[in-house]
Amino acid sequence: MLKDLYLKEFLDKTESNEPVPGGGSIAALSSAISAALSAMVANLTVGKKNYEEVSEEMTEIASKMSAFKSEFVDLIDKDANSFDKVMKAYKLPKETDEEKTERSRQIQEGMKYAASVPLEVAQKTSELFGMIEELVKKGNQNAQTDALVAAMMARTAILSALYNVKINLGSIKDEVFVQDITSKVKALETLATSKEAHILGLSDL
């Protein structure tokens, strides 16, 4: 599994001529990094002098970010495996009309699933911004830059994941599905850029 590789092994595998890990897995990794950095800032705040009033809140944020980190790490492999269904469908027989119809149906279902995984990454990552904002405003100011980097990583993760959604939408024939997902993509793109700008604007750096 990709998530069990050492960092250098993961990067070596990324630069190879193999299709995975690709942009979707890297998006999930970016989300995991954002969550891990956020948890670090919260942990560096808990129990510190002058931050006693926010210690409980920071403990809660650290716990939530740790859980998110684990989810995103799992999504690295989930994204890498998401296109398997499509590849298996393309290998189905297509001699008869019935076989062609079934093959086409499974290809379309596989494409929808392949689009749904990076969308899940983007949606989950969007949930980090509120907590990151609290870290920038209330967290240990010596670690404020780490919280700002977490915001930037979250924005990058979302936009990266959404590119992978969009490329899959181009092969999906279900217009209602495509319109629905396209609407969600646009909303998440707007949210990611606006949230990042707002959080970065909280700093004097």
Reported pTM: 0.93
Task: Answer yes or no: is 77 within a domain.
Answer: yes
Task: Answer yes or no: is 6 within a domain.
Answer: no
pLDDT tens-digit readout, 15-54: 999 888 889 999 999 999 999 999 999 999 999 999 999 9
CATH of the domain at 68: 1.20.120.680
- Domain residues for 189? 22-200
Task: Answer yes or no: is 94 within a domain.
Answer: yes
Task: Answer yes or no: is 3 within a domain.
Answer: no
Given a contact cutoff of 8 angstroms between Cβ atoms, the answer to whether 46 and 63 are in contact is: no
Task: Answer yes or no: is 8 within a domain.
Answer: no
Average pLDDT for 1-16: 87
Q: What is the pLDDT of residue 144?
A: 97
Tell me how many domains the chain contains: 1
For residue 50, is it left (φ>0), alpha (ψ between -120 and 50) or beta? left
pLDDT tens-digit readout, 144-199: 999 999 999 999 999 999 999 999 999 999 999 999 999 999 999 999 999 999 99
